[in-house]
Amino acid sequence: MDILAIKQRFGIIGNSPLLDRAIDVARQVAPTDITVLISGESGTGKEFFPKIIHHLSARKHGPYIAVNCGAIPEGTIDSELYGHEKGSFTGAHEARKGYFEVVNGGTIFLDEVAELPLSTQVRLLRVLESGEFIRVGSSKEIKTNVRVVAATNIDIPVAIANGKFRQDLYYRLNTVPIYMPPLRDRKEDIHLLFRKFASDAAEKYRMPAIQLDEEAVQLLSNYRWPGNIRQLKNITEQISIIEKRREINKETLVKYLPHSQVSELPILYKGEESTKISERELLYKVLFDMKRDMNDLKQLVMNLLDSENVDESNGANKHLLKRLYKNYPEDQDSSVPMIVRPSDSRFDDALEEPEEVNESFSLQKQEVDFIQRALKKYDGKRKEAARELGISERTLYRKIKEYNIEE
């Protein structure tokens, strides 16, 4: 079956080369039993690919089930996947088969696989490697023949570094990777999808379909779509229902787009680790600002006491006072003369204390101090200390050796 036929069969819309590449990989891997990991942002349509793989495989007449790993409570996930015996836990009034037993001979789609608890990940690794599992509350091994297709919108290497996902399981799942591109990388498909959703809404609610003028189409294509296809569909339905006019212009469309995302400029996502790092960087910035202000204050005192260059010093004083009290940037006015006296005995005593303050702003000393405090807090446990510092354990080990820190 060629790519066009697959799109028609599964209702996939788009002509992007990135989309065609993902479909082509799914088509080629389908006849095998290789495990597949589908990655991509939320709302990009990852759920189509396990269906393509299943229906183009020899297992197409077998069962298929999709499991949202993030929607199942941690306490019951093992029971859901592997089953349990009667009386194995409170409420287990009878024995129950798990998904891996029910889907024997078919395909199981594990959506949001990165949400699995670590204990469940160990069980999943065993199923993938040997095809065996044990029900909760049992000691008997059960064999199963299941094709596993997994998906995630999380950067798993980052989850591995944070100790939230097993590295061996990642390599076992990622035998063949399929990447589903975000909508912003498929600009040629955005208007096609809009027209499809507008047509569906018109048919569903029995009204004429909405259309976009050229400026609105341009705005639609340049929007970043953080929610991807799901967001595009929701906005299309909103406009279809709310707007009375069927021809939508740029001014109307922009009202439905969150203003923080209207620009096409890239945005930064800060996860848990980057938040810790940013707090440390913020501390450094405050310290450096204090250091700069201290130097400015020294310069201001020198200029005020300089009786030999009154005119020049007045200009410098104005500039420095503005910077000190109005937060003017350092290079706001390069034309204002700055007077620096190379040496003067009148200022020796006044400058000694600021120099000691400046010395405490050493990045290395600050870093060593943070590492020592983190190690002390967790009794020398490097893994916990690294997590507190927002760095990897390997990086922490290297810095301990580099700075000769005693643990």
* CATH number of the domain located at residue range(s) 363-403 in this protein: 1.10.10
Residue 18 has pLDDT above 90, yes or no: yes
pTM for the full model?
0.63
For residue 111, what are the β-bridge partners? Answer: 68
pLDDT above 90: percentage of residues in the chain: 58
Distance CA 113, CA 100 (A): 15
**375 neighbors 397 (Cβ within 8 angstroms):** no
pLDDT mean over 98-116: 95
CATH 1.10.287.370 is the classification of domain 184-261: no
Pick 29 or 139 by higher pLDDT.
Answer: 29
Q: Encoding tokens for residue 67?
A: 């499991």
DSSP percent split of the chain into helix, strand, coil, nearest 5: 55, 10, 35
- Look at domain 3-181 and name its CATH class: alpha beta
Torsion from C-alpha of 296, 299, 305, 308, nearest 10 degrees: -140
Model confidence at 385, pLDDT cuts 50, 70, 90, reads: confident
Residues 44-89 have pLDDT tens digits of 999 999 999 999 999 999 999 999 999 999 889 999 999 999 888 8
- Report the residue count for the chain: 407
Model confidence at 357, pLDDT cuts 50, 70, 90, reads: very low
HSE toward the beta carbon, residue 359, CA cutoff 13 A: 6
pLDDT of residue 261: 52
Distance from chain centroid for Cα 245: 38
Model confidence at 271, pLDDT cuts 50, 70, 90, reads: very low
Across 38-47, 194-203, 371-380, least confident range: 371-380
pLDDT above 70: percentage of residues in the chain: 76
Pick 359 or 208 by higher pLDDT.
Answer: 208
Strand order in the sheet with 107-111: 64-68, 107-111, 147-152, 36-39, 176-179
Residue 337 has pLDDT above 80, yes or no: no
Pick 287 or 137 by higher pLDDT.
Answer: 137
pLDDT of residue 284: 62
Across 97-106, 206-215, 364-373, least confident range: 364-373
**167 neighbors 158 (Cβ within 8 angstroms):** no
Per-domain boundaries in the chain = 3-181, 184-261, 272-359, 363-403
**91 neighbors 137 (Cβ within 8 angstroms):** no
CA-closest candidate to residue 25, choices 38, 10, 8, 9: 38
Q: What is the largest CA-CA distance in the chain?
A: 97
